[in-house]
Amino acid sequence: MGGVALLALAIDVATALLLWAMAKGSLNVRAAFVLNITDALGSLGVLIGAGLVLWLGWDWVDPLLTLLIAGSVLWQVVTMLPKAVSILMEGTPPDMNLDEGRRAMCAVEGVANMHHLHVWHHDDKTLFRITKLGVAKVIGDSTYKTAMPIYADTLSDLQIIAVLCWIKAQWPPEVRKNNDLVNTDQN
């Protein structure tokens, strides 16, 4: 029991270290990272529990650790689920002020009024694809018309990424923080 838990602990810690840097920019990677941390803590708990059962005869530690590990997993699900549902349901980002956005867009010369405003979050991969290929190609609707040009023939992939990074750098800190929390990488 202890040898398997030790091996699992080593694998989970190594995997978590690999995912740590990417976990800030993707909800999917963050979920995998948290799963690895939870698994590592579970393996550590199994090692401690095995020692307590073997050396002190505390058989009650095993079910207690099981409940603690299950509670930890449940807590992570409960905290990430609202963000995931908001993205999947294309909800308005929580830091978005629609009235302020409507006023800003109506202030543009030539815009008289705006009705039925929709705002939702796109992950970085989708933003990249829209910029490179155009909206019609990304959503799979060749009849979709937009004034946004397709940049695949004009900019390299690295140039598109650089432009998107520059745009994000102009965002206020609270918007960047929210983007980091809800950004998904749909691999």
Residue 34 pLDDT: 82
DSSP state, residue 49: H
Question: Is the pLDDT higher at 60 or at 149?
Answer: 60
pTM value is 0.52
| Rounded CA separation 30/183 (Å) | 10
Per-position DSSP letters for 150-184, written without gaps between them = P-TTTS-HHHHHHHHHHHHHTS-HHHHHHHHHH--
| Rounded CA separation 82/151 (Å) | 34
* Angle of helix 173-182 versus helix 61-88 axis, rounded to 10: 110
Q: Are 78 and 90 in contact (CB under 8 A)?
A: no
CA pseudo-torsion sign 72, 76, 77, 78: positive
Average pLDDT over residues 144-152: 66
Confidence of residue 186 (pLDDT cuts 50, 70, 90): very low
Confidence of residue 141 (pLDDT cuts 50, 70, 90): low
Which residue type, as a one-letter code, is found at position 125?
Answer: K
